[in-house]
């Protein structure tokens, strides 16, 4: 069976994990800070914190920006449910913005229209979360300009987009956002098994995130509110969570991060061949300002269910990204036109580092 996506693990990854297993630290050791430092360098951003997964990253990012009951967060329905769920964890309300019919990312036109109406209704959002679908960045410069006009904060959900670029800079540099969130799930650009990370250029946000991921505790003497009792002393100053990444995961992440550029390059080769050979299929549009990491390669087909089953019968697994969050029984909100149409026709083809040329040709020939 040819999978739609999977991790690539080599001997360096295995050796890195074994080294940690033989060390003195399985958690709260030197590997997590080392992984964070390398991630900062890669994204060219000031601060990075690693956490248990992208859901926890979203949760404490929203909390760090002050999201609370009575507040509003907006995102797109073309995402996994955690983007919205994390706002509900904070007690906030969630509303959705339709996607662009070409990029499948948040529609700037729909966003502008909704902001105008929300200002008139005195219901402006506290946070907007653009989702970089399939590895292609949203139009962040335009969204950033709107944030200055309407006063909202921005969290980039870049779970798909590590290694991608926007305006010739790496996604995650936070030039046009307050925070960026990544996922290291096995099918993402790199993996730590489960894991996530948060990047920002704001030291106050970084300090809040650091406390929120570790029970609300600080060991920084400069931040203590009471007299320090000794080297063992720490203070819980806020209510936080246990969202720490382990040393084992960080070691795997470090090893994977060294291969990220080769992962992205291979995915771009696969995407290029798909685009070349599938000239009678609707393939993904790429905005001129972006250079996708190609976490997904999503086509649109007329009879999606038939194509899905025919390919499966030929040993090719495809996937659907995503059932709109608005359509989930828990949310049960009005479907948005472009997102609904996209869901009816979208199909994610196999794309991952270890996909062989022969396997890709089988996908292409079977699809044709």
What's the CATH number where 272 sits?
3.90.1150.10
> Does 296 lie in the same domain as 249?
no
**Has residue 2 been placed in a domain?**
no
> Does 238 lie in the same domain as 180?
yes
> Does 277 lie in the same domain as 236?
no
Sign of CA dihedral 60, 61, 65, 69: negative
| Domain total of the chain | 2
> Does 333 lie in the same domain as 276?
yes
Which CATH number is 32's domain given?
3.40.640.10
**Has residue 4 been placed in a domain?**
no
> Which of these, 68, 65, 74, 84, lies nearest to 107 by C-alpha position?
74
Looking at residue 235, its pLDDT comes to 96
- Given the structure tokens 């472009």, which residue do they identify? 338
Looking at residue 90, its pLDDT comes to 98
Rounded Cα–Cα distance for residues 283 and 280 (Å)? 9
Q: Among 257, 287, 302, give the residue marking a domain's end.
A: 257
> Does 331 lie in the same domain as 286?
yes
Non-local (6+) Cβ contacts of 26 within 8 A are 20, 246, 247, 248
| Residue 294 domain boundaries | 260-367
Q: Among 233, 257, 281, give the residue marking a domain's end.
A: 257
**Has residue 107 been placed in a domain?**
yes
Looking at residue 284, its pLDDT comes to 97
Rounded Cα–Cα distance for residues 279 and 290 (Å)? 22
**Has residue 344 been placed in a domain?**
yes
Residue 185 DSSP symbol: -
Task: Identify whether the C-beta of residue 17 lies closer than 8 Å to the C-beta of residue 252.
Answer: yes
> Does 286 lie in the same domain as 188?
no
pLDDT per residue, tens digit, the chain (368 aa), is: 999 999 999 999 999 999 999 999 999 999 999 999 999 999 999 999 999 999 999 999 999 999 999 999 999 999 999 999 999 999 999 999 999 999 999 999 999 999 999 999 999 999 999 999 999 999 999 999 999 999 999 999 999 999 999 999 999 999 999 999 999 999 999 999 999 999 999 999 999 999 999 999 999 999 999 999 999 999 999 999 999 999 999 999 999 999 999 999 999 999 999 999 998 899 999 999 999 999 999 999 999 999 999 999 999 999 999 999 999 999 999 999 999 999 999 999 999 999 999 999 999 999 99
Give CA separation, 26 vs 55, 158, 219, in Å: 22, 28, 20
CB atoms within 10 A of CB 286: 15
> Does 204 lie in the same domain as 310?
no
Looking at residue 163, its pLDDT comes to 98
> Does a cis peptide bond (omega within 30 degrees of 0) precede residue 14?
no
CB atoms within 10 A of CB 143: 19
**Has residue 3 been placed in a domain?**
no
DSSP-derived secondary structure for 12-36: HHHHHHHHHHTSS-SSSSSHHHHHH
Looking at residue 280, its pLDDT comes to 87
Give CA separation, 291 vs 135, 294, 318, in Å: 8, 9, 23
Rounded Cα–Cα distance for residues 179 and 62 (Å)? 9
- Given the structure tokens 């600080």, which residue do they identify? 218
Rounded to 5 degrees, what are φ and ψ at 199? -115, 150
> Does 280 lie in the same domain as 244?
no
> Does 194 lie in the same domain as 303?
no
And the tokens for 168? 């010739």
Non-local (6+) Cβ contacts of 166 within 8 A are 137, 140, 176, 289, 290, 291
**Has residue 1 been placed in a domain?**
no
DSSP-derived secondary structure for 35-101: HHHHHHHHHT-SEEEEES-HHHHHHHHHHHTT--TT-EEEE-SSS-THHHHHHHHTT-EEEE-PBPT
> Does 305 lie in the same domain as 181?
no
Q: Among 191, 225, 257, give the residue marking a domain's end.
A: 257
**Has residue 192 been placed in a domain?**
yes
Give CA separation, 109 vs 105, 115, 143, in Å: 12, 10, 11
**Has residue 308 been placed in a domain?**
yes
> Does 170 lie in the same domain as 314?
no
> Does 185 lie in the same domain as 83?
yes
């Amino acid at each position: 069976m040819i999978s739609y996506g999977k991790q690539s693990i080599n001997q360096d990854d295995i050796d890195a994990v074994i080294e940690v297993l033989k060390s003195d630290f399985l958690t709260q050791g030197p590997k997590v800070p080392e992984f964070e430092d390398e991630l900062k360098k890669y994204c060219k951003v000031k601060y990075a914190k690693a956490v248990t997964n992208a859901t926890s990253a979203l949760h404490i990012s929203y909390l760090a920006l002050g999201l609370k009951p009575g507040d509003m967060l907006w995102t797109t329905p073309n995402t996994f449910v955690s983007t919205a769920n994390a706002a509900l964890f904070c007690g906030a309300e969630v509303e959705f913005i339709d996607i662009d019919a070409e990029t499948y990312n948040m529609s700037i036109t729909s966003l502008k229209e909704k902001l105008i109406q929300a200002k008139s209704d005195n219901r402006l959002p506290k946070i907007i979360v653009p989702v970089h679908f399939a590895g292609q960045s949203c139009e962040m410069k335009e969204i950033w300009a709107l944030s200055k006009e309407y006063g909202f904060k921005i969290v980039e959900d870049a779970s798909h987009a590590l290694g991608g670029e926007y305006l010739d800079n790496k996604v995650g540099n936070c030039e046009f956002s307050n925070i960026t969130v990544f996922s290291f799930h096995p099918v993402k650009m790199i993996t730590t098994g489960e894991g996530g990370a948060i990047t920002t250029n704001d030291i106050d946000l970084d300090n809040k995130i650091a406390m929120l991921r570790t029970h609300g505790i600080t060991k920084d003497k400069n931040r203590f509110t009471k007299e320090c009792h000794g080297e063992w002393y720490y203070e819980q100053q806020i209510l936080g969570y246990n969202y720490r990444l382990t040393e084992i995961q960080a070691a795997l992440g470090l090893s994977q991060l060294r291969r990220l550029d080769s992962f992205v390059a291979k995915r771009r080769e696969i995407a290029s061949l798909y685009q070349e050979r599938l000239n009678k299929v609707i393939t993904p549009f790429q905005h001129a300002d972006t250079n996708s990491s190609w976490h997904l390669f999503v086509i649109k087909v007329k009879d999606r269910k038939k194509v899905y089953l025919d390919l499966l019968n030929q040993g090719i697994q495809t996937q659907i990204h995503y059932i709109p969050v608005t359509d989930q029984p828990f949310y049960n909100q009005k479907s948005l036109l472009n997102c609904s149409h996209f869901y009816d026709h979208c199909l994610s083809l196999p794309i991952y580092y270890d996909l062989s040329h022969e396997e890709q040709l089988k996908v292409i020939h079977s699809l044709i």
